[in-house]
C-alpha cells in the first residue's frame, strides 16, 4: 500500500491544468523561438513576474528549455503543441479535455445537472485531423496493407462513422483502383467533404445517416468500425448482422478502439467515458458478448495489433480454416476428461440420479448439441462399433436419459433426443465446464483462425497419446 499515490494524483492534475492553460494561451507557438519572460509577458498581456513563474514551471515539467534568460520549446513541444506544426495536437487535446471533463461530476451524480450534453463531432473531426497524421493513419494503412498486399486490387471500403475521411484519403492513395465510402451523420459529412477535398482525396463517396437504423449499402470488401461501437444502440448481434449483410464473400470487418474489460464486467476506459455515460451514453457490450455477436454472424478473428495506440482487430467473413473455435474447445474437453479418466470413469453432479459414466455424458452432450442425431453418427463420432453404441443407448433409454423417435422419411432409422432428465444432465455438464474452463474458452475465442488448426492438431495428438496409455476413455 502506498498513500503517496493520492498526492501524486494532485501533482498530475496540476500539471494538466498547466498544460491546458499553455495551449489555450498559445504559449508553445510563441516559444518556437527563444524568448525571455518580458517577451512572453507582452505576448500574454500579463506581468513579467507572472510570465517568469509560468516559464519556470513549464521548464520544471520538461515542456520548455531554459538557456540563460531565454526559454524555448523542446523538440517534442514544437512538434505537437505549436500551431505552426502540421501535426499540432493542441486543439484536439483541449477538445477532448472539455468532452471528458469531470468538473461537474458531483452535480451529475446528485442529479443536479441538466444533462443531455451531446458530443460535438464536427468540432472533434476538425481538431483531430493533425492527430490522425501524428502516426495513427500511417499505422492503420500499414495494417490494411497486411490484409490486402495487392495494392492494385479494386478494394471497396466502407468507413462506418468515418468522421473526417482521412483514413480513406490515405488508403485510396495506396489502392489506386479502390473506392471508399464515408458513412456518418449529415452535419459531419458536410465537413468531411471539405476535409477530403483539401487533402486530395479521390474515389471517395459520402453517405449520411444513422448507422443504427439506416441501410449501409454494399457489397464491400472491407468495413471499418473505428471507435463507433460505443454508439451502437441496437442489440450488438443485430448490428453486426447488418454489417455482415453489406460484406462481400470473404470480406473483412475491422474494429478499432473496442478494448476488452480490464476487470470482469467493468469496461476499459471507464474514466475517459464516465462523463458520457452519466449523460446517457450506454455502457459498451462486454468482450465476450462482442465475440458471440461476431462469431454468431460468421466473422472470425484474423489478427489483432496495436495500431497508433488503438487496439485494432480484423475479422474475416467465413472461417478460412476447417477448424472452428468449438472444435478446439471440444478437443480440450476430451483431453482433460481423458486425463481425469485415468483416475475415475464417473462424473457425479451431486445426486444419485445424476451420476454418469464418461461415455454416457459424451453421448448426452452430442445429442444435446444436435437433437435428432442417429446412433450411427454417435458411433462414427466416438470411433466405436455400432453394437456397442446400440447397447449403451438401450441402457440410457432405460435410465430415462434419452428417447428415440422413428424418422418419418425412413422407418428403419430412429432419431435420438434428450428427455427432461437428459436435458438436466446436459445443463450440469455445460455448467461444469463453464465453471472450470471458462478462462481457456475465452482465450480460444480470441485466437486467430489461422492458428486454430495447429492447436487442434496438438490436442488431437495429446488425446491419442493419453488414450494409448489409459485405454478406452469412453467407458464402454
Predicted local distance difference test score (pLDDT) of residue 152? 93
Question: Residue 323: what pLDDT?
Answer: 58
Instruction: Provide the pLDDT for residue 29.
Output: 97
Higher pLDDT, 429 or 87: 87
- What pLDDT score does 133 carry? 85
pTM: 0.63
pLDDT at 409: 76
Q: Residues 349, 355: contact at Cβ < 8 Å?
A: yes
Higher pLDDT, 182 or 380: 182
Q: Which domains does the chain possess?
A: 4-85 (1.10.10.10), 121-317 (3.40.50.150), 325-470 (1.10.10.10)
> Rounded mean pLDDT of 97-102?
86
Question: Does residue 332 carry a pLDDT above 70?
Answer: no
Burial of 155 (0-12, 13-18, 19+ CB in 10 A): buried
State pLDDT tens for residues 249-285. 889 999 998 665 656 667 777 888 888 888 877 787 7
Q: How confident is the model at residue 131, as a pLDDT?
A: 83
Q: Give percent of the chain above pLDDT 90.
A: 39
pLDDT of residue 266: 77
Does 146 have pLDDT greater than 60?
yes
| Burial bucket for residue 183 (CB in 10 Å: 0-12, 13-18, 19+) | buried
Predicted local distance difference test score (pLDDT) of residue 21: 97
Q: Average pLDDT, stretch 193-216?
A: 92
Residues 337-361 have a mean pLDDT of 64
Task: Give the mean pLDDT of 370-378.
Answer: 85
* Whole-number pLDDT of residue 322: 55
Give the pLDDT band (50/70/90) at residue 366: confident
Unique residue bearing C-alpha cell 475517459: 272
N-terminal to C-terminal alpha carbon distance within the chain: 57
- DSSP per-residue codes, 312-329: EEEEEES-SSS--HHHHH
Q: What is the model's pLDDT at position 50?
A: 97
User: Which pLDDT belongs to residue 289?
Assistant: 83
> What pLDDT does residue 472 have?
46
Choice among 340-344, 362-366, 432-436 with the minimum mean pLDDT:
340-344
Task: Give the integer Cα–Cα distance in Å for 167 and 169.
Answer: 6
Q: For position 149, what pLDDT does the model report?
A: 92
Question: CB within 8 A of 12, min separation 6: which ones?
Answer: none
Residue 467 — pLDDT band, cuts 50, 70, 90?
low
pLDDT confidence band for 45 (50 / 70 / 90): very high
Segment 78-87 shows an average pLDDT of 94
Longest dimension (CA), the chain: 101
Please, what is the average pLDDT of the chain?
84
Residue 301: predicted pLDDT? 85
Strands of 320-467 (E only): list them.
346-348, 355-357, 402-407, 410-418
Q: Assess whether the previous peptide bond of 325 is cis (omega < 30° from 0).
A: no
Q: Which residues contact 282 (CB under 8 A, 6 or more apart)?
A: 233
Confidence of residue 60 (pLDDT cuts 50, 70, 90): very high
Q: For the chain, how are helix, strand and coil distributed in percent, rounded to 5?
A: 55, 15, 30
Q: Tell me, what's the pLDDT at 262?
A: 58
Does residue 121 have a pLDDT over 80? no
Whether the predicted pLDDT of 443 surpasses 90: no
Amino acid at each position: 500500500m502506498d498513500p503517496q499515490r493520492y498526492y501524486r494524483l494532485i501533482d498530475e492534475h496540476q500539471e494538466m491544468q498547466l498544460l491546458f492553460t499553455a495551449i489555450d494561451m498559445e504559449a508553445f507557438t510563441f516559444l518556437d523561438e527563444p524568448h525571455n519572460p518580458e517577451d512572453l509577458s507582452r505576448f500574454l498581456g500579463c506581468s513579467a513576474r507572472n510570465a517568469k513563474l509560468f516559464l519556470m514551471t513549464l521548464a520544471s515539467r520538461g515542456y520548455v528549455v531554459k538557456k540563460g534568460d531565454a526559454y524555448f520549446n523542446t523538440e517534442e513541444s514544437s512538434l505537437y503543441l505549436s500551431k505552426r506544426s502540421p501535426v499540432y495536437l493542441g486543439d484536439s487535446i483541449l477538445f477532448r479535455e472539455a468532452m471528458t471533463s469531470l468538473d461537474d461530476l458531483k452535480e451529475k451524480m446528485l442529479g443536479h445537472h441538466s444533462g443531455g450534453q451531446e458530443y460535438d463531432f464536427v468540432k472533434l473531426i476538425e481538431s483531430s485531423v493533425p492527430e490522425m497524421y501524428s502516426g495513427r493513419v500511417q499505422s492503420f494503412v500499414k495494417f490494411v496493407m497486411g490484409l490486402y498486399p495487392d495494392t492494385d486490387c479494386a478494394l471497396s471500403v466502407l468507413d462506418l462513422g468515418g468522421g473526417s475521411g482521412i483514413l480513406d484519403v490515405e488508403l485510396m492513395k495506396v489502392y489506386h483502383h479502390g473506392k471508399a465510402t464515408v458513412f456518418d451523420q449529415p452535419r459531419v459529412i458536410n465537413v468531411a467533404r471539405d476535409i477530403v477535398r483539401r487533402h486530395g482525396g479521390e474515389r471517395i463517396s459520402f453517405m449520411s445517416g444513422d448507422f443504427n437504423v439506416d441501410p449501409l449499402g454494399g457489397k464491400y470488401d472491407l468495413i471499418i468500425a473505428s471507435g463507433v461501437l460505443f454508439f451502437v444502440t441496437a442489440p450488438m448481434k443485430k448490428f453486426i448482422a447488418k454489417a455482415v449483410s453489406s460484406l462481400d464473400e470473404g470480406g473483412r470487418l475491422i474494429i478499432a478502439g473496442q478494448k476488452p474489460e480490464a476487470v470482469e464486467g467493468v469496461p476499459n476506459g471507464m474514466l475517459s467515458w464516465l462523463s458520457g455515460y452519466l449523460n446517457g451514453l450506454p455502457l459498451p457490450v462486454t468482450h465476450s458478448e462482442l465475440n458471440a455477436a461476431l462469431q454468431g454472424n460468421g466473422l472470425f478473428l484474423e489478427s489483432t495489433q496495436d495500431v497508433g495506440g488503438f487496439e485494432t482487430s480484423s475479422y474475416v467473413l467465413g472461417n478460412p480454416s476447417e477448424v472452428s473455435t468449438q472444435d478446439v474447445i471440444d478437443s480440450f474437453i476430451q483431453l482433460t476428461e481423458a486425463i481425469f479418466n485415468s483416475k475415475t470413469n464417473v462424473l457425479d453432479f451431486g445426486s444419485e440420479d445424476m451420476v454418469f459414466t464418461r461415455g454416457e455424458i459424451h453421448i448426452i452432450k452430442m445429442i444435446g448439441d444436435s437433437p435428432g442425431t442417429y446412433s450411427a453418427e454417435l458411433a462414427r463420432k466416438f470411433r466405436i462399433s455400432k453394437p456397442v453404441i446400440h447397447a449403451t443407448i438401450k441402457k440410457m433409454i432405460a435410465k430415462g436419459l434419452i428417447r428415440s423417435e422413428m424418422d418419418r422419411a425412413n422407418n428403419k432409422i430412429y432419431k435420438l433426443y434428450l428427455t427432461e432428465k437428459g436435458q438436466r444432465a446436459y445443463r450440469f455438464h455445460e455448467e461444469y465446464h463453464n465453471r472450470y474452463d471458462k478462462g481457456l474458452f475465452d482465450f480460444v475465442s480470441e485466437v486467430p483462425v489461422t492458428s486454430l488448426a495447429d492447436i487442434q492438431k496438438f490436442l488431437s495428438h495429446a488425446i491419442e497419446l493419453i488414450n494409448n496409455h489409459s485405454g478406452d476413455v469412453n467407458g464402454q
